[in-house]
Amino acid sequence: MTEIFIDGDACPVKEEVYAVAARLGLPVVVVANQRIQVPHDLGVGMVVVAEGPDAADDWIASEIRRNDIVITADIPLAARCLAVGALALGTNGREFTQDSIGGALATREIKASIRESGQSTGGPPPITAKDRSRFSNRLDQLAHRALRSG
């Protein structure tokens, strides 16, 4: 059965994930470095991992399987999940694919170099209602694709 994993520490679209998952009857696992309030009555589980910069990512990467879905803004985690045949969706509603992940990783490295030189690259823009709608629609599409493939 397809599961949805949320890289939960800073995920702004958890409520949208819960709604799509509940409608489709999919289990959700939120993974974070600290306890986060989750709706257990909707089949949402919570995993608290040890402190550390990649602890949640490492846990997700070790547990995710083919046709599962990860929700993350972390590009290296998305790449790790794609490598096992999982689907990866950014919190902005953009799917990470085998075709797009290389460019996303390269852009991430360029921005890291710019930040290391002392320049500001700015953060992601605030999430809008349109972004939330796009995210929900895209997650619904990915979930249906995963269920058909599963």
The residues facing 32 across adjacent strands are 48
Say which CATH topology domain 4-149 has.
Answer: Rossmann fold (3.40.50)
- Spell out where 17-129 has E strands: 28-32, 44-48, 69-71, 87-89, 95-96
> Tens of pLDDT along 58-82?
999 999 999 999 999 888 999 999 9
Domain ranges of the chain: 4-149
The residue with tokens 């249906």 is 144
- The CA distance from 35 to 2, in Å, is 24
> Tens of pLDDT along 126-143?
889 999 999 999 999 999
Angle between helices 14-24 and 129-149 (to 10 degrees): 40
